Amino acid sequence: MPTTRIESVETFPAGGALYVRLTTDTGITGIGESTCFGWPGAVGEVVESFRDYLVGADPFDVEAHWLHLYRTLCFRGMVVGGAISAIDQALWDIKARHFEVPVWQLLGGRSRRAVRAMKVISGHSAEEVATACADAVRAGYTAVKVILFGHEHHGMRQAQRIADLVGRFTAIRETVGWELDVGIELHRNMAPGDSVLLCEEIAPLRPLFVEDPIPPDSVYAFGEVAKKVRVPMAAGERNTTIWEFAEYVEQGGLAYVRPDVGIAGGITHVRKICALAEARHQGVLPHAVPSGPVATAAHVHLGITVPNWEAQEHVEQENTAASAVVKSVVPLVDGWLYPPDAPGLGMELDEAGLASTPVRTLRVGAPVREDGSVAIR
């Protein structure tokens, strides 16, 4: 019989996140965050459905709880993945607090001193993205991810669109030179043929990676694109299990996997995804935007321990709406994220801040082309 049991399960929707807090009968609490930012309320409903199973359970049996929650029913996807991910983070938080160590110590200890932050940048012109990259360099960042493809590109003809995208990347290199690692995000917006053409033209500009050049609907199609280009490819921010990632790792031609601790099964599952990639000498560039501060912390704890963790996408959280839901955020110093040394994840929810942060649910509004048809995305 367990000496410690889960006594309560609480949910806090705020912004695009669903925060979970588990409390044991010994008074230890653990928190986690779902990053299924489209429908946080739906994630909350799933967590509520898990309540009867969780209350009274031993919080230390993290792996067993993951399997119970995932295998109980036949449902899959981001909403279920978000619920399990938040609970899993909270269970690791409880376990580390019990042993009075940070989570990263339970995961095997340090493999690096800090996690490299990769600033996420977007803009509507070559000048805007180039200026933003220069600002990032001045702030200490050594890596950025540029959302190169914008909504305006759907209204351009093919040659014009590709010329504009190449022009934006060219402006970045002319502004910041070669010392900054620049990842390119195409956000699932291109057909295979067009993405191959674009990748060939930007290859001389040495992108750190090109992410999601085509929709993530077909591993086979993604692998075919990867075979035809000379740039490192990245994908995975919408994947939720090791089984989905295994197909991309084996067949997708990836250089980098992009798991998200808030939908891809939490700490328990993302560790396994990283190991799959490590076995193929692939790097890890976790999806961490628009993650809130708790998921960011969970990523940093993982990143300190995972040997093939290349960098972590990031937007500043101090003195922003994101920081209102917690009592402190993971510090960002000169482009690096440092893990908390406090027990657990090192995070505490701020209930007043949560209550004052409105829930944000996305509305349908796909981009359309000039003939009114829905654009690839």
Q: Which residues are catalytic?
A: 187, 287
User: Bridge-partner residues for 116, per DSSP?
Assistant: 336
Q: Which amino acid type is present at position 357?
A: T
CA–CA separation, 337 vs 331, rounded Å? 6
DSSP 373: P
CA–CA separation, 364 vs 357, rounded Å? 22
Any idea which residue has 């908390």 for tokens? Answer: 340
Q: Closest Cα to residue 235, out of 288, 286, 281?
A: 286
Hey, what are 162's tokens? 């590709």
CA–CA separation, 79 vs 67, rounded Å? 16
Question: Beta-carbon neighbour count of residue 47 at 10 Å?
Answer: 23
Question: Does residue 239 sit in helix, strand or coil?
Answer: coil
Hey, what are 256's tokens? 């980098």
Any idea which residue has 């998921």 for tokens? Answer: 295
CA–CA separation, 177 vs 280, rounded Å? 31
CA–CA separation, 280 vs 142, rounded Å? 25
Indicate the burial class of 7 (C-beta count within 10 angstroms; 0-12, 13-18, 19 or more). Answer: middle
CA–CA separation, 267 vs 261, rounded Å? 6
User: Within 13 Å and on the Cβ side, how many CA atoms surround 269?
Assistant: 31
